[in-house]
Each structure stands twice: as structure tokens, then as C-alpha cells.
Amino acid sequence: MSTATTKLSRHIQAPRPRVYRALIDAQAVATWMVPDDMTSYVHEFEPREGGRFRISLTYDAPTDTGKTSAQTDTYHGYFATLVPDERVVEVIEFETDDPAMQGEMRVMFALRDAADGGTDLLAVHSDLPPGLAPEDNALGWRMSLDKLAALLEAGA
């Protein structure tokens, strides 16, 4: 098991219940949980403890850097913990033949009320496989969290 971890914080100008809903809503996840220059497709999504999900991220431009196929990263997992308006913990794994990208990872989102009425979100992605550079992972997460904030703040 890897000890590599990505840890990011993001302030979102939206109340905790709205942020939490965006973490467990398939349509919202397809919109925000995808780095720039990629498109998301949610195959399966059961937002309950033990519920499974499967998501593909496809590069918009032709590439050979996908983990599952030339242009696509597909991952699956389950919701390990759901504490309404407070915490989401997912266990995820890439669908890949590359041993350097295999292994279970954990993604944890913790939500706290901010003094201005918004939400402070902490995202921790741990147990990264050795083939996933933490700095690349952090960049993808920053892009995604920016999209989450834009999605929620647009509807504020």
C-alpha cells in the first residue's frame, strides 16, 4: 500500500448541505469531478454506504495517456462512509492492467461551516498507486474543486 497522499482545501460560498449534495449527486459529480480537458461519464452511482459507483473520464483530445484505454481513465468503488452534511469517504480503484496504477485508494471529503456562511472543504486522496504522481493528482483535484465551487456558487 502506498503512503502517497494529496490533501487540498477549498472554500466554497455555499452552505454545507448544498456542498454535501453535490458530492453524492451523480449529475453534479459528472459536472465537477473531472479535470479540465476531459469529459466524465457516470456508469453507475448508488449514494448510500456500501453503494457502488463506476465513472469514466475521457480526454477531449486524442492521447495515449489513459489508464484504462488510450483516452480513458475508468475507476470504480464504493461509498465507505456517508455522514450527511459532514463527510464522504470513498474507496476507489482504477480499472487498469498497469501494475503501477493498481490498488485501492481512499478519497475523503470533510465539510465545515465557514464564518461567512459558506463551507470549508478538505479533500484527502490517500494510498495513491506508485504510478500516479502526487503533483499530477493534486492538479486534477484543484481543477475539479474549482469546478465544484463554480457550480455551487453560480446557483447561490
Taking only the tens place, the pLDDT of each residue in 79-138 is 999 999 999 999 999 999 999 999 999 999 999 999 999 999 999 999 999 999 999 999
Containing structural domain, residue 85: 5-154
**What pTM was estimated for this model as a whole?**
0.92
Residue 1 scores a pLDDT above 80: no
The CATH number of the domain holding residue 49 is: 3.30.530.20
In percent, the amount of the chain with pLDDT more than 90 equals 86
Q: What is the mean pLDDT of the chain?
A: 94
Joined grid coordinates for residue 151 = 457550480
- Per-residue pLDDT at 2: 64
Strand intervals (E) in the chain: 5-12, 38-45, 52-59, 72-83, 87-94, 105-113, 119-126
Confidence of residue 155 (pLDDT cuts 50, 70, 90): low
Number of domains making up the chain? 1
